[in-house]
Structure 1
Amino acid sequence: MTTTESTTLLDRVTVAPETGRPIPDAATREIIGHAPVHTVTDLDAAVAAARAAQPAWAALGHEERSRILHAIADEIEANAEELAVLLSREQGKPLDGPNARFEVGASAAWVRNAADTAIETEVVFEDGPARSELHYEALGVVGAIGPWNWPMMITVWQIAPALRMGNAVVVKPSEYTPLSVLALASVFNRHLPADVLTVVSGDREVGAAIAAHPGVDKIMFTGSTATGRRIVESSANNLARLTLELGGNDPGIVLPDTDVSAIAENLFWGAFINTGQTCAALKRLYVHESVYDEVVDALAELARVIPMGRGLEEGNVLGPLQNEQQFGIVARLVDDARSRGARVVSGGEPAPELGPLFYRATVVADIEDGAALVDEEQFGPVIPVVKYTDVDDAIARANASSQGLGASVWSNDPEAAVEVARRVQAGTVWINQHGAVNPNVPFGGTKASGYGHEFGVHGLKAVSSPKVISR
């Protein structure tokens, strides 16, 4: 069943202004709805209900849970345009390009993958009649704390595997994008038993309470490294298992004599996907002196011509910063780079004619490590391009960050690129692309970018309790 004009998904999840928190359109700042303001008391009730509902959900077995997940994926697809429009308004990403419609489609695809991925009993020892098997069972209640940049897709990454393995889930969305997650959950709940999936739309106090809650068995968190550290501390109270996908100041290395025309578009989207608001986006680019000027010029030209504007206007593929805080961070980092003598080749300023939080796609050249724009995660439509002469030096610079989520190597020579990739410290290193994820391929960070893996069999195991049966 799809929603009708009189009962839209937004109608279903928004509350009265006097009882809710206003949520603005990211592009225009007009209020599009009011999110519920849940409290720690609401969280306690949601966790208790989830614990009561979980055993029956687990007892359905893999086949029935997978059937239900496929029905949910069908429902997402049936409501895809309405979900995409809400997402575009609340988060800011345009409908077109690798943005809102893409995110909704990916959400359905990841639900199907969670349903279809096989997880087999593993025989870990066998000697005559002696046999030890490793089984994977539901943990109980999973607490999912999501971000504002890809609110639907990342929430699906958290909840679909958890549901498949027989867990109940309590979701805490970002305060910036709660309506998208509430709408997505309402689609899920057309097919799930009561209380198996609940959204608690609260503030940071609620998020902190989930991490420390005695009724929560697993925490999945995507967000900043600083918040991740606090979650680790809070989880000491209940020894909840953790999967943390934290910040990433992802480096890219362009090797000597690379064909720039062949990689320019992939380079651009590696940095500017979702207007740069992606944890695993390309954040700092090291380019060999032999192709440096050509890379800078190619990126700057794309930055000038790629359409930016309000997400509901067809044709735009870059949008605004999602919130005032992030807009301020981006502006500060670019201004600091300019004050250090860096060359702003394109952009470098707000675009107020488009809306309050638009910042032009920006390419910054002639900048070095030590500048805040290189050393900090900008999380916006800006890429600093750093010249190098020695590949070993570029690798050392790439590895100097405390973070290690993703990285990329760019070259005409795949073997040379792989040799460099093996030396770069990151959870994923892409060759001639950056940020591409696959539901079958494990994804996770190293160093201060977190720990634990999502996707595929690894993702199912991460939301399971391993049990050894020996005989």
Structure 2
Amino acid sequence: MTDSQATAAALGTNPTAAAPAGARTAADVVTPELVARLTKSVAGSGRTANHAPFTGEQLAELPESTPEDVAAAFQRARAAQPDWAATPVRARAAVLLRFHDLVLQRQAEILDLIQLETGKARLHAHEEVQAVAVAARHYGRKAPSYLRPKRHTGVVPVLTKTTELRHPRGVVGQIAPWNYPLELSVGDALPAFVTGNAVVMKPDTETALTALWARDLLVEAGLPAEVFQIVIGDGPVVGPEVVKHADYVSFTGSTRTGREVAQGAAARLIGVSLELGGKNAMLVLHDADVEKAAAGAVRACFSSAGQLCISIERLYVHESVADDFLERFAARTKAMRLGNSLAYGADMGSLVGERQLETVTRHVEEAVAKGARLVAGGVARPDIGPLFYEPTILDGVESPMAVCTEETFGPVVSVYRFTDEDDVIAQANATPYGLNSSVWTKDARRGHAVAARLRTGTVNINEGYAPAYGSVQAPMGGMKDSGLSRRHGSEGILKYTEAQTVSQQRLLPLAPSFGMDDEKYAAFMSASLKAMKALRLR
């Protein structure tokens, strides 16, 4: 036992959520019939497999796509896309609304798959169901207004009629991550489909069944099957092939890989959207409701075992409330129930893979070795499953420690005390990342003032991440090294389109006429421009 594990053991361990009698197992859910049905549309001459984090056992054998298979998938999608684009937008939107209903009706199926492939607690898996349903409803209702032709004032009012049209880009290449395999796969594809694009998606192999299930349900909802292609394989092999053939690329993942995707897209002069890493901060101000902040910190830091791009890894607490907050936060964290069953009841599940467990262990043990103090957690739980790690709070973290600056992407949060508001805002912003942040205060005006100074794409006041992410009419994405472009809102759908301006000139040309020479025409246009400014025309 390491020193940090011994310290953690002395702090008391998190309880285990008991599995209900007769609980379902992986074999009950991932049957040969299900795998055959979901993978029949995947081209792949090789074979690969995914595994269950709860047990480490193989879940399913899957087709593995070659570069040639990826090229063929794009050919099929490209052949089907024009007919789909010619379908009226309201008919395309109706597919999303039917998909919304089917997801909610059949949520038990997908919750099982998400849990088995990611190791999440069931409540955290349900966050994905909620997010996908909200996105499907929003774009199912709003897509016609986002995409309808828009009239603009022409260069010469009345004489120039100008219209903005929106056309689909063609075939979108999507590379989706493992941590939110429903929301960050099909959830991002929905606005691409409703704009008339086809999609070729590469999900992470370990969570491919979830993406395949979503495709199956979208086809049931009315999406033409050829419009949605899925390819499976190693990221370094299949990912570049997706970028090579796409008309636009949507990527969610690490900042390092995101740079490579952006370089590949730039070489082909195609557009790209990237949601990348984060080292997100939560600020508990002196006037915060400490009990609510402590409860909110548990959600913000440990949902999906911290494997969430927008979860909190840095916790700044005002010195005047720090001891009270930390006592309440630690008590709630130690009381969290860890569990591995396909049922509600656990507060946190498993990490997804060995790499995540190694990173979490390294960050915690290095911090403790360099003087940080374990307040809660700090120990793996192989008694529950091979990749379980207790939710962990570290106090006294300093900048030489990796956990201070590197993204952990696990159930670990570092606590820092502050006294000066300007200083803590500067500390929160002192990171290459800029994805999400959180502010806790009873004073709404102060909360909004602090939020406006934080350099993150989303800021949540008196909650960790859910309000901003769930408000799908508003854009969501990262600043700095956390990404490019946005999902949600108008930006989340219009990025999948090409804008076209069509202008019709009527009655008079934009050139000398009625016998004017060049000088008189220039004087006439100068006078017209002054008049338009005086009339406050835009």
Question: What does 1:212-291 correspond to in 2, within 5 Å?
Answer: 212-213=244-245, 216-291=246-321
1:121 equivalenced with 2:149 (yes/no): yes
Shift of residue 212 of structure 1? 2.5
Q: 3-state SS of the aligned residue for 1:177?
A: helix
Distance 1:133 1:334, change over 3 A: same
| Per-residue CA distance 1:265-296 (angstroms, 9 max, x = gap) | 11211111111110011111111111111222
1:192 equivalenced with 2:223 (yes/no): yes
Residue of structure 1 aligned with 2:486, choices 453, 464, 469:
453
Shift of residue 69 of structure 1? 1.9
Shift of residue 206 of structure 1? 0.6
RMSD of the alignment, in Å? 2.0
Shift of residue 11 of structure 1? 4.4
1:84 equivalenced with 2:116 (yes/no): no
| Per-residue CA distance 1:171-223 (angstroms, 9 max, x = gap) | 0001221111112112212322131001101112111121232xx11100110
Distance 1:467 1:390 in 2: 50
1:439 corresponds to which letter in structure 2?
A: V
Distance 1:421 1:260 in 2: 19
1:195 corresponds to which letter in structure 2?
A: E
| Per-residue CA distance 1:392-446 (angstroms, 9 max, x = gap) | 1111111110010111111111111211111111111111112111222210111
Instruction: Identify the range of structure 1 (158-167 vs 295-304) with the bigger mean alpha-carbon deviation.
Output: 295-304
Which has the larger helix fraction?
2
1:210 corresponds to which letter in structure 2?
A: V
Shift of residue 358 of structure 1? 0.2
Distance 1:387 1:440, change over 3 A: same
Match of residue 158 from structure 1 = 188
1:193 corresponds to which letter in structure 2?
A: P
Shift of residue 40 of structure 1? 1.0
Shift of residue 7 of structure 1? 8.0
1:35 equivalenced with 2:62 (yes/no): yes
Residue of structure 1 aligned with 2:496, choices 459, 463, 466:
463
Distance 1:419 1:5 in 2: 50
Q: Is contact 1:307–1:317 with CA below 8 Å preserved after alignment?
A: yes
Question: What does 1:2-13 correspond to in 2, within 5 Å?
Answer: 9-13=34-38
Q: 3-state SS of the aligned residue for 1:230?
A: helix
Residue of structure 1 aligned with 2:337, choices 307, 316, 330:
307
Distance 2:177 2:349 in 1: 17
Question: What does 1:131-146 correspond to in 2, within 5 Å?
Answer: 131-146=161-176
Q: 3-state SS of the aligned residue for 1:345?
A: strand
Q: Is contact 1:13–1:35 with CA below 8 Å preserved after alignment?
A: no
Match of residue 23 from structure 1 = 50
Q: Is contact 1:270–1:282 with CA below 8 Å preserved after alignment?
A: yes
Distance 1:14 1:242 in 2: 28
Distance 1:287 1:6 in 2: 49
Q: 3-state SS of the aligned residue for 1:439?
A: coil
Q: 3-state SS of the aligned residue for 2:431?
A: coil
Distance 1:381 1:469, change over 3 A: same
1:434 equivalenced with 2:467 (yes/no): no
Any gaps of 5 or more consecutive residues in structure 1? none
Distance 1:169 1:14, change over 3 A: closer
Q: Which runs of 4+ in 1 moved over 4 A?
A: 4-8
The TM-score normalised by the length of structure 2 is: 0.83
Any gaps of 5 or more consecutive residues in structure 2? 1-28, 505-538
**How many equivalent pairs are there?**
464
Distance 1:277 1:441, change over 3 A: same
Q: 3-state SS of the aligned residue for 1:179?
A: helix
The TM-score normalised by the length of structure 1 is: 0.94
Q: Is contact 2:49–2:62 with CA below 8 Å preserved after alignment?
A: yes
Q: 3-state SS of the aligned residue for 2:404?
A: helix
The percent identity for this pair of structures is 36
